[in-house]
Chain A
Amino acid sequence: MTRTMKGIAFAIAEAIDQEMTERSDIVVLGEDVTYWGAVFGFTMGLHQKYGRDRVIDTPITEQTFFGMACGAASVGMHPVVSLMFVDFLGAGFDQMYNHIAKNHYMSGGQFAMPVTILTAIGGGYGDAAQHSQVLYGLFAHVPGFKVVVPATAYDAKGLTISALRDPNPVVIFGHKLLTGLPFLPFEGQEEEVPEERYTVEFGKAAIRREGSDLTMIAAGLMVHRCLRAADELARDGISAEVIDLRTLVPLDSETLVASARKTGRVLIVDEDYRSYGMTGEVAFHVQAGALDALKTPIRRLAVPDVPIPFSEPLERTVIPSVEQIVAEARALLAAGARA
């Protein structure tokens, strides 16, 4: 049975609910995870159903509740921890990157770290420099985190269930403009989502639109903006393929390389900062597997290494828009084919 669902927030909450019903090892920890559903809805409805023993509002102490998640995981619990905005990682990152991400390796495989971290990312609604970042590149850079970026409600549910069944730390980055909550703009689409439980495998990118002239690679919100850009390009007879990475770690370089070999032109679009991040990493994989098939150098569009500014025209300048993606795609196609 399926039903129409708007946005990823309810899909993530439903996935947690369906796993929590079956399992006693899952507890939900974080700031405002009860009444406010972790603010962006990822835990909505859980506290009404499971009570405060399993869905726990913590004091505002990221270092401590992430440390507690580490300690609880080391004795067999599966904590689901909310890092409300990813921008707040600085307040608790030591316990994440130095402990949760490393303890399995450092212990020679003795201690599993089944911790699922939920966090909200992205800008575009005027929340400025400390509440609009994406930052998944930081997590992806450190060994030990699986990095999940759902773009659709279907994926959000299936990827969350995969995360809850994974014995490793998984961070789920839910874009605020894809949550489907009434107080934010919504740039996703309403979709049919199965009521029953299912998983979406990590490390399998999705081809959201097939094309032959260029490949656009993105994650999260940027997948939707690329799809809109592809619609616009299609009016001029340009056929763009759009790939949704779904997970940055593990990365499905096979699908990326195959698409790059088919189209010969690659544009990588990212809402994280431009330098030393996802775009560079993906570009490396693409050139390593498809250099001989590339007709032009790879191009990228990302936040141009400035903090996210507040004022609307400033914010629009730095976060990749449909118009900017279209312009980059045209520039890519205009670049002469290599001899």
Chain B
Amino acid sequence: MWKPEPSLADLRYTVEKAGLTPETLLTAYRQMCLIRSFEETIADRYYIGKTPQFNMAAGPIRGEMHLAVGQEAVAVGLGMHLRDADVVVSTHRPHHHALAKGVPADKLAAEIFGKVTGLCRGKGGHMHLFDAEHRFSCSGIVGASFPQAAGAAFAFRHRGEPYVAVAFAGEGAANHGTLAETLNAAVLWMLPLVIVIEDNMYADSTPKWQALAQPHQFQRALGFNVPTYLVDGMDLIDVWRAAKEAIERARAGYGPSFIEAVCYRYRGHFEGDAEEYRTREEVERWRQLDPIPRLGECLKRLGWADDATLERLRREAEEEVARAIAFAEQSPLPDPQEALVGVFR
């Protein structure tokens, strides 16, 4: 979503008005670097054993792989406002949401590798990540996140707890009936729920214009009288400001909000995707809006960081990812007999 960059005076005004501090933006920058590095390292390991012949069952990471390179600002812009006791329900593309929620990178990586040290002891895998401690879960079923987050929000409101639940979903998932159903229930019961649509333009291979009757999903939310934001999902500051309002509103008992963040995934829907449905030029165009350099540029213009600082943050993030991946790679696989236990508690 191209929009003019603000003048320095306007940028200063925006940042000050939003209450953004250098610490907050530098933390966001590091977090986004962490996610970027995590996703790219997973991609690197994923292709071990899968080249030259692509075989999904081969190599150290089996199955499908959906990465969120390019969508970091959405996850981080939301996640920075959340507490451990808040709930996030994510999707089949969950790593960035998990890391932004505070899920430890090492246990996350170990789960993706199917190791016994993983979040779910290797039973979940990349699309079914669960972390009870950080109240994070996700589902490989498109459209499933809305009501589950609403259920957690219902519990918080019912018990009088000051917590918020966030449902992430793509613009394709937002065509599912559960969105309309959940919006209706969330407004009806004034649930502390924030619905975040990551509009990355494609549902699998289907471009948005082939699947939506109107240009944006937020238009549907308006019919339910939900406070609604359309934000530039490639701009951390834009996402952060909307998320702050939405989450504060929910926490204070004023009910749900809806955020549509227009963004882009630089990699295919899944690894191995031939991407016949879009052009290289289109991807390159969106590369100009890469949220990480964009935030770096803002930090430099504000005088809050120089190249050396940004480089240091990036390197710190990469080192954390390297440690997490090494932990995953060195961890043991589960005992095969573990497959037979744990259906019931």
Contacts and interface: CB of A to CB of B under 8 A. Distances in A.
Interface of A: 27, 53, 58-59, 61, 63-77, 79, 94-95, 98-99, 103-112, 143-144, 146, 167-168
A143 B182 CA distance: 27
B280 interface: no
A178 B137 CA distance: 40
B188 interface: yes
B185 A74 contact: no
B344 A72 contact: no
Interface string B173-209: 0000110011011001000000000000000000000
Nearest to B135: A75
A168 B185 contact: no
B123 A105 contact: yes
Interface string B284-300: 00000000000000000
B123 A63 contact: no
Contact of B147 (A27, A65, A73, A75): A65
Interface in B214-244: none
Contacts of A109: 121, 342, 345
A143 B132 contact: no
Contact of A98 (B144, B152, B156): B144
A143 B344 CA distance: 9
Contacts of A66: 147
Contacts of B141: 94, 98-99
Given A73-B151, A99-B139, 19 more contacts: A58-B185, A63-B181, A64-B146, A65-B185, A67-B182, A68-B154, A71-B154, A71-B155, A72-B152, A74-B137, A95-B147, A98-B141, A99-B144, A105-B123, A107-B120, A107-B124, A108-B123, A110-B119, A167-B345
Given A109-B342, A168-B345, A72 B144 contact: no
Contact of A106 (B89, B124, B144, B158): B124
10 contacts: A67-B150, A67-B178, A68-B185, A69-B151, A71-B148, A106-B120, A107-B123, A107-B128, A108-B119, A108-B121
B61 interface: no
B132 A110 contact: yes
B343 A143 contact: yes
A70 B150 CA distance: 10
A41 B215 CA distance: 46
B87 interface: yes
The 4 A-B residue pairs with the shortest CB-CB distance in the complex, in nearest-first order: A71-B151, A67-B147, A107-B130, A68-B151
